[in-house]
């Protein structure tokens, strides 16, 4: 089987232990992101299967029409809108969403979130750059103890952030859908009276929502304008949770005063307004990009690919595609 793994920016997949599961296959790894379907299709000619790294590679009608040999897409992680499932079915391409059987807690993203909070509150990136330039102590950071940590969305990651916040002697305040609020209350976490109250009260506000149709743009300019001038907004979830352009506008207006961001509307990012703002810490979507997470995600994906090659079709999300093929 000829297999392609696109958008492996760091050429990391071949270094994983689980990569040995593909020893008998022909594997092509593409590091460069190609946004033009024609250019990407040219690189993928003759490929039987794709293994996708989360949502990095959009699978569109235009791309599928140029890949007549493609029969299988294995997605690392859960279903997401970057794959046009109906188009895959029309072209006879089976899709499998490979989620680990024992995923455990999403520590990698939670740990990065906390790293961003510490970095932004204590101006660590600025101080590192300043010291390398020959200067000494150029900023005055702020501690976390006694301040209010707002968590918007109390799921697997949000609940870990709450634990970290308590360990740092912060007051933790949660808002989200009814399920989030009920889980927070069951864990003894205070629930805000409303989304507005969360934004008004938090000294550090971290977003931990899935990007769905009902959550797209759930953070508006009006919400951001209610934040304290000293507050920090952290987003390691999805850029689409915030109304387009609203964060940049809010930071220029001074409410909130700071941000730490790991996710962007279009990735990979070559240039972005946030990169030019001194009150923002930016990282290149590193939340899940960590060796243990990769071993878990790709191990599950490669197991599913091998099962499909052996005739097991039980995990196919669009079984109608098998009839088309």
Domains plus CATH for the chain?
2-103+291-324 (3.40.50.720), 107-282 (3.40.50.720)
- Alpha helix segments (H runs only) across the chain: 37-43, 61-64, 85-90, 107-121, 124-132, 156-167, 178-186, 195-201, 221-225, 246-253, 291-309, 320-324
pLDDT at 57: 96
Q: Which of 147, 183, 223, 285 is catalytic?
A: 285
What average pLDDT does range 243-268 have in this prediction? Answer: 97
Mean pLDDT of all residues in 271-281: 97
**From 133-137, 266-270, 278-282, the region with the lowest mean pLDDT:** 266-270
pLDDT confidence band for 80 (50 / 70 / 90): confident
Angle at alpha carbon of residue 233, lines to 229 and 239, rounded to 5°: 135
Q: Provide the percentage of residues in the chain whose pLDDT is more than 70.
A: 100
- Annotated catalytic residue within 91, 208, 223, 238: 238
pLDDT tens for 37-78 read: 999 999 999 999 999 999 999 999 999 999 999 999 999 988
What pLDDT was estimated at residue 143?
98
For residue 312, the model assigns a pLDDT of 96
Output the pLDDT for position 212.
93
Within 10 Å of residue 44's Cβ, how many Cβ atoms? 21
Respond yes or no: is residue 238 known to be catalytic.
Answer: yes
* Predicted TM-score of the model (pTM): 0.92
Q: Extract the tokens encoding 203.
A: 């000294």
Per-residue pLDDT reduced to its tens digit, 155-189? 999 999 999 999 999 999 999 999 999 999 999 99
Mean of pLDDT over the chain: 96
Q: Is 285 a catalytic residue?
A: yes
Residue 59: the pLDDT is 97
> What number is the average pLDDT over the span 220-229?
98
Mean pLDDT, rounded, for 95-102? 88
Tens-digit pLDDT profile for residues 113-160 = 999 999 999 999 999 999 999 999 999 999 999 999 999 999 999 999
| Active-site residue (options: 267, 290, 295, 320) | 267
- Our CA angle for 125, 236, 166, nearest 5°, is 80
């Amino acid at each position: 089987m000829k297999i392609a793994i696109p958008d492996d920016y760091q050429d990391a997949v071949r270094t994983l232990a689980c990569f040995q599961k593909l020893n008998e296959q022909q594997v092509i790894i593409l590091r460069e992101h190609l946004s033009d379907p024609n250019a990407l299709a040219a690189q993928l000619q003759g490929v039987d299967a794709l293994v996708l790294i989360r949502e990095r590679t959009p699978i569109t009608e235009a791309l599928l029409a140029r890949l007549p040999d493609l029969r299988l897409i294995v997605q690392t992680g859960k279903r997401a809108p970057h794959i046009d499932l109906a188009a895959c079915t029309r072209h006879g391409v089976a899709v499998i969403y490979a989620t680990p059987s024992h995923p455990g807690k999403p520590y990698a993203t939670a740990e990065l979130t906390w790293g961003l909070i510490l970095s932004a509150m204590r101006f660590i990136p600025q101080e590192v750059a300043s010291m390398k330039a020959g200067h000494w102590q150029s900023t005055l950071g702020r501690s976390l103890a006694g301040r209010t940590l707002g968590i918007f969305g109390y799921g697997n990651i949000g609940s870990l952030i709450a634990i970290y916040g308590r360990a740092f002697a912060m007051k933790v305040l949660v808002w989200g859908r009814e399920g989030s609020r009920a889980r927070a209350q069951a864990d003894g976490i205070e629930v805000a009276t409303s989304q507005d109250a969360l934004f008004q009260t938090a000294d550090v506000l971290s977003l931990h929502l899935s990007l769905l149709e009902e959550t797209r743009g759930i953070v508006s300019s009006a919400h951001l304008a209610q934040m304290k001038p000293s507050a920090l907004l952290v987003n390691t979830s999805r850029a689409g949770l915030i109304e387009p352009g609203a964060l940049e506008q809010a930071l220029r207006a001074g409410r909130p005063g700071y941000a730490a961001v790991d996710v962007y509307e279009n990735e990979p990012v070559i240039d972005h307004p946030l990169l030019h703002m001194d009150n923002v810490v930016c990282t290149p979507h590193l939340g899940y990009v960590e060796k243990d997470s990769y071993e878990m995600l790709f191990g599950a994906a490669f197991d599913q690919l091998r099962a499909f090659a052996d005739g097991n079709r039980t995990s196919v999300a669009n079984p109608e595609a098998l009839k088309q093929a």
